[in-house]
Amino acid sequence: MSRAKRIMKELQAVKDDPEAKITLEFVIESDIHHLKGSFIGPPGTPYENGAFVVDIEVPMEYPFKPPQMKFDTKVYHPNISSVTGAICLDILKNAWSPVITLKSALISLQALLQSPEPNDPQDAEVAQHYLRDRESFNKTAALWTKLYASAAYGDKEVDEAELYGINSDVVEEFESQGFEKSKIIEVLRRLGIKSLDPNDNATINRIIEELLK
């Protein structure tokens, strides 16, 4: 009983604060376990102007147990799985407290977009990209925001290499050697290579070795 009361109150609190630009609503009106929330990407970050939708499952024991949240919107971020949208954030796990609300959790996610913690990654590939080449990372994250978090860009064709922040010259180089593009991208992602020094023979050999497997 008290859980329903609390959730209704939380919904009202979100409605009462339109300034925050946060939405929170039931997926089906009759099911208080399942909600969708959304917030705007923080300004001054690659996520700026994006609208990020989060799937929220509220357990029976709420608010004594944390809600389960994951991104519906694809996000390129070290603490968010680029595949499943799973989130690595302490307040949604062991640091949860019953005083935290769905709204404050969504605000924490917003803050997470603002300041990633690459040392506690959810997506190792993305985290590596973030640590090695911030500029390239920012480009990719901004591209993902454009592609997935903005309605206008819905159906745009996108180059797979660009999507993962891989320098197109590198892909073309290996394509000219007769390797298949999707395979090249798969190997480069696996090895965490975004760009390449043409004189770095050791790395080139490693890539070729992987490509030949």
Partner 1 sequence: MDLGNNEMFLSNDMLHEKQGHNSLIEDNIITSINNSRRGSLVTQDSEFELDDALLTGSDLDYDYEDELDDMIVLPITNAKRKQINEGGVPNLEYECLTTKDIFNRMLERVNHLQPIFSLPLEDIIILMQHYDWNEERLLEKWTDKMDDLLTEIGLIHENGNLTVNERGVALKEDFECGICCEVKSVEVFSLECGHEYCIECYRRYIQGRLHSGNIITCMGCSVALKNEDIDEIMGYESSNKLMYSSIKSFVSKHHRNYKWCPYTDCKCIIHLDDTSSLSEYSRLHYSPFVKCNALHRFCFSCGFEIHAPADCDITNAWIKKARKESENLNWVLSNTKECPKCSVNIEKDGGCNHMVCSSCKYEFCWICEGEWAPHGKSFYQCTLYKNEDGKYNKSSSQEANKLMKKYTFYYRMFNEHEVSAKLDWKLGQTVGIKVKSLQEKIGVSWIEGQFLAESLRTLNEGRTALKWSFAVAFYSDPSHNLTKIFVDNQALLSKAVEDLSELLQIKDPELIMRRKPDFYNKAGYVQNRTNALMECGRDLLCKGICKLTD
Confirm or reject binding of residue 98 to partner 1 (CB under 8 A). yes
- Taking the complex as a whole, the smallest distance from the CB of residue 98 to partner 1 amounts, in Å, to 5
Q: Which residues pair with 35 in a beta bridge?
A: 26, 56
Confirm or reject binding of residue 213 to partner 1 (CB under 8 A). no
- Taking the complex as a whole, the smallest distance from the CB of residue 10 to partner 1 amounts, in Å, to 9
Confirm or reject binding of residue 34 to partner 1 (CB under 8 A). no
Structure token pair of residue 88 = 């690595």
Confirm or reject binding of residue 60 to partner 1 (CB under 8 A). no
d(CA 164, CA 128): 12
The one catalytic residue among 88, 105, 106, 161: 88
Q: Which residues pair with 71 in a beta bridge?
A: 54
- Taking the complex as a whole, the smallest distance from the CB of residue 63 to partner 1 amounts, in Å, to 6
CA-to-CA dists, residue 140 to 15, 68, 114, 158, 161, angstroms: 33, 27, 15, 12, 10
- Taking the complex as a whole, the smallest distance from the CB of residue 9 to partner 1 amounts, in Å, to 5
Structure token pair of residue 189 = 């992602």
Q: Looking at beta carbons only, is 61 or 159 nearer to partner 1?
A: 61
Q: Which residues pair with 38 in a beta bridge?
A: 23, 53
For the question of residue 88 being annotated catalytic, the response is yes
Q: Could you give the dihedral angle defined by the CA atoms of residues 16, 17, 22 and 27, in that order, rounded to the nearest 10 degrees?
A: 0
Confirm or reject binding of residue 15 to partner 1 (CB under 8 A). no
Q: Do the Cβ atoms of 86 and 93 come closer than 8 Å? A: no
Sole window of 96-104, 112-120, 131-139, 174-182 interacting with partner 1 (rule: CB under 8 A): 96-104
How many Cβ atoms from other residues are within 10 Å of residue 40's Cβ? 18
Q: Please, which of residues 63-92 interact with partner 1 by CB under 8 A?
A: 63-65
Sole window of 62-70, 114-122, 126-134, 154-162 interacting with partner 1 (rule: CB under 8 A): 62-70
d(CA 138, CA 85): 18
Catalytic residues: 88
Residues that bind partner 1 (CB under 8 A): 2, 5-6, 9, 61, 63-65, 97-99
